[in-house]
Chain A
Amino acid sequence: MKFMFIVTSAHAGPPTPELMEAMHKLANREIKAGRMLDNGGLMPLATGAQVRIANGKLSVVDGPFVEAKEVIGGYAIFELQGKEEALASAKEFMQLHKDLMPGWEGVCELRAFAGAQTGD
């Protein structure tokens, strides 16, 4: 089953060097173990843009954005056996954040891809 992990946080700013290194190691391990298919950190929201539909109108809003909100920091795509494995994996990933960037708050959301379900 394919899963996407999406990390969001209200905490602006890049990870600490220690966290970067630990995440890099973890990612490499997961890639080598044949489980992680793709991953990426995203540029700050201020550098991006949004195309919105509201009140029947389509509009383009270029960054920076006024509202402070939960921002997507990055994502990863895994091929895993099921939700339990995804949860365990996400927990390990977030534990790194807790250990190496104290005070950071955020969410790692994991969702399976829609479509053909594989596995038992």
Chain B
Amino acid sequence: MNAADTHRAILGVWRVEQPRLITRLARMLRDVPLAEDLTQDALLAALESWPRSGIPERPGAWLMATAKSKAMDHLRRRRMLERKHLLLAEVSEASPSFDSEDTGDDEFGDELLRLIFTSCHPMLSPEARAALTLRMICGLTTEEIARAYLIAEATIAQRIVRAKRSLSESGLVYETPSRGQLSARLASVLEVIYLIFNEGYTAARGEDWIRPALCDQALRLGRVLIGVAPQEPEAYGLLALMEMNAARTPARVSPTGEPILMAEQDRSLWDALQIRRGVHALRQAETLQGAKGFYALQAAIVACHSLAPTPEDTDWRRIASLYGDLSALFPSPIVELNRAVAVGMVDGPERGLLLLEGLRDAPQLAGYHLLPSVRGDFLQKLGRHAEARAEFEIAAALAGNRRERDLLNRRAREATAVLPTSQAS
């Protein structure tokens, strides 16, 4: 094995061992940021010595022993030995053989819950939460996170360091949200997971339109969340939304990397099992009385698309109605924009255009390329080709992603020709 292979092999082992390692350390030390520091130290130690000595037969035990000894060093340095003498006793009794002190089923779940609520603490910025969550729950290295976001590694490293410091300084190192707090805090967790998913689903920057690896991490986080918060309908709602959106991935990009609009996608390429899982999760959200949740409503909308065998079978009336619900409960210009698209499909592009008028001055949509894009689509359907072209050009200039920009420029060029039909995205 060459160095690159060894490195990959070590990271493979790392990903398997990381969840148990960090949950155990967090429990032992009652300090999540510290547990994160020590797991990182253990990883670095492995990356340093395993290329020479080979991967140990019991890598989990090796990592655990290394992390614990670093914990001892740390505690010694902080001169807390006398207060932590009970902890030391626990540490020194550690069995080096197979995991005899493996935490019980519930404990692992409890620790995961703590980790996820700490990494998604509302006091941290959404970007910091995302980076910390990908590190602590998904076990991604700084380099992997940086690559996923096309941001410099040093920036991610700094973001994580600052996040941990903020948590430590605020004394928020080991909370257990009470049942009452759980639902309130859940929103900050869902926001982070959805942020990660969306970055992978329609990348804001860069050459690739989608980054499936990020979607996979978000889906994993969604599964973790329903495991640790099984009574929360919005956790199921979010998972449903992500599964059904991700199910279209095989059909969303052409072989040469161009985005394909939903109405033009080959639906036989949609992952039917994944859609089924998504629909099942949505039903669970509804069973838990969460049908009108922010994510559940969006999932219900996507379900309308996912369950339509052809674009012509799409139940746009139901979609418009669901956007109406969404608009009433969670008003936002973006929801209105999407509602306009649906209403346009039901009542015609003239009606859709009218709804867009109310959004002209919305500050939240100022730099948002989809507003002129949707307007362009309506204008094209109405045969107002020159105006359509102008809108698509504005949209292309606003698009941050190269693929999206190319698509919109293409639509601008095609708008000057008379096309028999055009479809909404």
Write the residues of chain A forming the contact surface with B, with a CB cutoff of 8 angstroms.
Answer: 25, 28-29, 31-35, 79-89, 92, 95-96, 99, 115-116, 118-120
Contact = CB atoms under 8 A, between A and B. Distances in A.
8 contacts: A25-B102, A29-B20, A33-B224, A84-B8, A84-B9, A88-B12, A88-B15, A116-B249
Contact of B15 (A81, A99, A115, A116): A81
Contact of A85 (B15, B57, B108, B228): B15
Interface string B202-223: 0000000000110110011111
A115 B250 contact: yes
B16 interface: yes
Interface string B3-37: 00000110111011101100000000000000000
Contact of A32 (B221, B222, B224): B224
B216 A79 contact: yes
Contact of A29 (B19, B213, B219): B19
B58 A119 contact: no
Contact of B12 (A28, A82, A119): A82
B112 to A, nearest CB: 6
A32 B222 CA distance: 10
Nearest to B14: A88
Contacts of B212: 116, 118-119
Interface of B: 8-9, 11-13, 15-17, 19-20, 57-60, 98, 102, 105, 108-109, 112, 144, 147, 212-213, 215-216, 219-224, 227-228, 249-250
Contacts of A79: 216, 219-220
A88 B112 contact: no
Contacts of B213: 81, 118-120
Contacts of B250: 115-116
Contacts of A29: 19-20, 105, 108
Contacts of B215: 118
Contacts of A86: 12
B9 A34 contact: no
B9 A28 contact: no
A84 B12 contact: yes
A105 to B, nearest CB: 18
B227 A34 contact: yes
Nearest to A83: B12
Given A25-B105, A82-B12, A33 B112 contact: yes
Residue of A29, A84, A86, A115 with most chain B CB atoms under a 10 A cut-off: A84
A88 B13 contact: yes
A84 B109 CA distance: 25
A82 B144 CA distance: 13
Given A84-B9, A85-B15, A118-B213, A35 B220 contact: yes
Given A31-B227, A34-B220, 6 more contacts: A79-B219, A85-B16, A88-B15, A88-B59, A99-B98, A118-B215
A120 B16 CA distance: 18
B272 to A, nearest CB: 12
A72 to B, nearest CB: 21
A84 B6 CA distance: 10
